[in-house]
Amino acid sequence: MKKILLFLLFSVSLTAQQTELIKLNQNIKDKFSRTKSLTLIDNRADKSLGTVSYKGETVQMRFTNEDLKNYIETWFAGDNKTRGNNDITLLLEEIKIDDFKNTGLAKAKIKISSFINRNGKYYFINRYNSTVDFNSKITPNIPRMVSSTIETVFSSLINDSYSHIAFSTPIPEAELNNYESIVNKNIKFLNTTELPNGVYKDFRSLSLLKPEAGYYVEKNKKGKVTGVKNSENLLVSGEYVFAYIEDGKIFRLTPVGFLEMQKNDKGYFVYSSRLELFPPKNANNGAMIGAMTGGLVGALIGAAIDSSGGGGRDKPNNLSNIYIDQLTGEYTFEK
């Protein structure tokens, strides 16, 4: 009997070591108490998250409470004792973790959106829709980092959604699963061939095709961009510049310069790489998640940049089409 008990205890301990729990306990308090409720719709076809490798073991990734709807709504209620009038809904479409065995590499694909619900109509606020890579050479404890990353994606999106301006396109509850196609039809720059020249300070102004009054691109004699200036002829910080349009082409500001936003049947993209868009000093998972709320631009972009990308570019064989989320303007990494 004693041997059986010891075996059972050992088995439980071994099982615990092979499971990494994702805890949702970061602060999601609505500082201005605008929000009344937070609801989750879990539309994942497959509720299992996946596994990663760690020290020769296969580690199962799980949420602490696998009733995710209850878990998230309880999390919100615990952090928000004072309520407002807004009802926010999260639509979870995918969380899938892939492990490349014996390589030290893993990735997590996450797609989750937020909406404000008013009288049965939903209005898109924001979303995270990308893949995060993990490398054991940089991140020794991949299971723990995957757990932390997923928690941060949820908390960042929730905190941003309290004050982020929603799109004005109403989405009927019965059509919520088709929100992307519905919202896309009302984003101006996606549905016209006439793109007004000018400088756009953020993705929202680009989506509405409203260039910033008085802003202009300054170029040198070779036709390369040396900076963006305002009506007072003062250099504008990169923090307040998203892109400019010239002769029907969109050029987006990146750490390596203004890169053309090209378009194919999959949508808009820049020809670049993770390394270029998230330089080493900023290329941690936290920075990539932070980009979702637009906070990364000012931190990465310095002065003046060449519209062709200039020097300092990544190796050509590392470059590929990096697509741009048509609803948020953020990069959507596929691998």
- pLDDT tens sequence across 150-193: 999 999 999 999 999 999 999 999 999 999 999 999 899 999 98
pTM score, whole prediction? 0.84
Of residues 221, 199, 225, 223, the one with CA closest to residue 306? 225
147 phi and psi angles, rounded to 5 deg = -60, -50
Residue 47 in this model has a pLDDT that exceeds 90: yes
Instruction: Tell me where in the chain the CATH 3.40.50 domain(s) lie.
Output: 19-181
More confident residue, 122 or 135: 122
Reported as a single tens digit per residue, the pLDDT across 21-45 is 999 999 999 999 999 999 999 999 9
- Picking from 4-18, 182-196, 303-317, which range would have the lowest pLDDT averaged per residue? 4-18
- The helix/strand/coil state of 3 is helix
Q: Could you give the percent of the chain with pLDDT greater than 90?
A: 66
The helix (run of H) or strand (run of E) holding residue 7 is: helix 2-17
Taking residues 103-112, what's their average pLDDT? 92
**pLDDT bucket at 334, cuts 50 / 70 / 90:** confident
Task: Report the number of secondary-structure helices (H) and strands (E) in the chain.
Answer: 8, 17
**pLDDT bucket at 136, cuts 50 / 70 / 90:** confident
At residue 1, the pLDDT reads: 52
92 touches 47 (CB < 8 A): no
CATH class, domain 19-181, is: alpha beta
Amino acid at 212: E
Residue 196 in this model has a pLDDT that exceeds 80: yes
128 phi and psi angles, rounded to 5 deg = -115, 125
Taking residues 107-122, what's their average pLDDT? 95
Extract the tokens encoding 134.
């993990």
Taking residues 290-300, what's their average pLDDT? 35
Give 326's DSSP letter.
T
Amino acid at 299: A
